[in-house]
Structure 1
């Protein structure tokens, strides 16, 4: 009976959590604020604790998850509807480097030390604080950086280079298999793909580890034995 209890509640909890994730949206995964972290943690605890509590049935765990999910949904709705509530539930970004100067007060308020700041800057390819004009600590713990103009990479517009149309690369072969659903997206058939491979002296797509199409460029191909 104990294994049956755990099995049934785990299955129910799994699908309920999956449903809540779909309803609440991708912010639960990609933009984890303090509130999001607590909400996900509590949802996991509700399912985990209920599995080993024989007095807790499916009705109780379903009620708890749905009630907690409703509270999260209402909170997200309120923050979307009323701008002033966002700071309360989500926090606000902090400018930790302002006009090239470290704001120690903001660092202290966010419990961030210099070493942690340097680590976050290096993740943005900024290896010297002297290169940074502004750095903003976002609500999810990441940092956004604006370099000083002297250290910014020149753009094609700055160098007066003709700007090309940006296209999305599309995979057409992966692990020796043709990704057939992607061929219509580039207007190719399998015959056209094979002709392109033959023009590169590749007899079979099964010899290909990865092949990628990009508009205006030759087909990028890497064989299994390519070093």
Structure 2
């Protein structure tokens, strides 16, 4: 009976957290701030601790999850409406490199050392501080950089090259399975796809690890 209770609590907690994540939005994952990190930990603890407390019922778990979720939702709503409240909870970006100079006071204030700064710069393809004009430490811990003009990437407009049409590559086969939704987007049928992979030497889509379509180019097909 005890094992059955754990199973029920796990299943209910799983779907409750999944539902709550859908409501709160993708920023809970992709743009996580300190507040978002704490809220995610609390949500996990609410379910985790309840598994080992026999006096806690499923309804109490649901109530705790949705009360905490309501508090997070209310906080997010207030931060969207109030800039001052947003500053307190989410913070503001900090300029760690200003006009090519490292601001040590800003680094110290944000508990960032030089090794960490170098690591973040290398992630932006900057291997020397002399290449960077401005660097902003964002509220989620990532670094946004603006290179010095001498080290900026060359743009087509700089060379007077006519721009080409941009098309989105789409996966048509993944792990031997046809992605029919993408096939509809490119306005093609399964027969066309089979013909294309046959030209590449494959007899069935089950033999294909990955197939990618891009407008104006041949179908990219790779087997296992």
| Deviation for aligned residue 1:51 | 1.1
Q: Distance in 2 between matches of 1:53 and 1:106?
A: 45
Distance 1:199 1:27, change over 3 A: same
Distance 1:223 1:10 in 2: 39
TM-score, with length taken from structure 2: 0.93
Q: Distance in 2 between matches of 1:7 and 1:204?
A: 41
Q: Deviations over 1:17-46 (max 9, x none)?
A: 111111111111111100000111111111
In 1, the alpha carbon distance for the partners of 2:55 and 2:191 equals 63
- Quote the residue 2:208 is aligned against: 208
Q: Which deviations, in whole Å up to 9, do the C-alpha atoms of 1:73-126 show, x marking residues without a partner?
A: 100000011222111111111110011100111100000000000011111111
Provide the rounded CA distance (Å) in 2 between the counterparts of 1:91 and 1:68.
22
User: Relative to structure 1, is the Cα distance of residues 42 and 214 closer, same or farther in structure 2, using a 3 angstrom cutoff?
Assistant: same
Bigger mean CA deviation after superposition, 110-119 or 209-218: 209-218
Report the number of matched residues.
224
Change over 3 Å in CA distance of 1:67–1:187 after alignment to 2: same
Residue in structure 2 matched with residue 113 of structure 1 by the alignment: 113
Aligned counterpart, 1:98: 98
Distance 1:165 1:24, change over 3 A: same
1:116-135 matches, within 5 Å, as 116-135=116-135
User: What whole-Å deviation, never above 9, does each CA across 1:182-218 have from its counterpart, x for those lacking one?
Assistant: 2221111223223334444555444432221111222
Distance 1:8 1:199 in 2: 52
1:216, 1:153 → 2: CA distance? 26
Q: How far did residue 5 of structure 1 move?
A: 2.9
**2:186 is the alignment partner of 1:219:** no
- Report the secondary structure of 2:163's partner residue: coil
Deviation of 1:145 after TM superposition, in Å, equals 1.0
Residues in 2 aligned to 1:59 and 1:109: alpha-carbon distance in whole angstroms: 44
**Which residues in structure 2 correspond to 1:118-197 (within 5 Å)?**
118-197=118-197
Gaps of 5+ in 1: none
Question: How do 1:23-62 residues align onto structure 2 when only pairs under 5 Å count?
Answer: 23-62=23-62
Deviation, 1:54, is: 1.2
SS at match of 2:63: helix
Structure 2 gap ranges (5+): none
Mapped partners of 1:135, 1:127: distance in 2: 13
Name the TM-score, length of structure 1 as normaliser.
0.92
The corresponding residue for 1:2 is 2
Q: Aligned partners of 2:196 and 2:60: how far apart in 1? A: 60
Alignment partner of 1:42: what SS?
Answer: helix
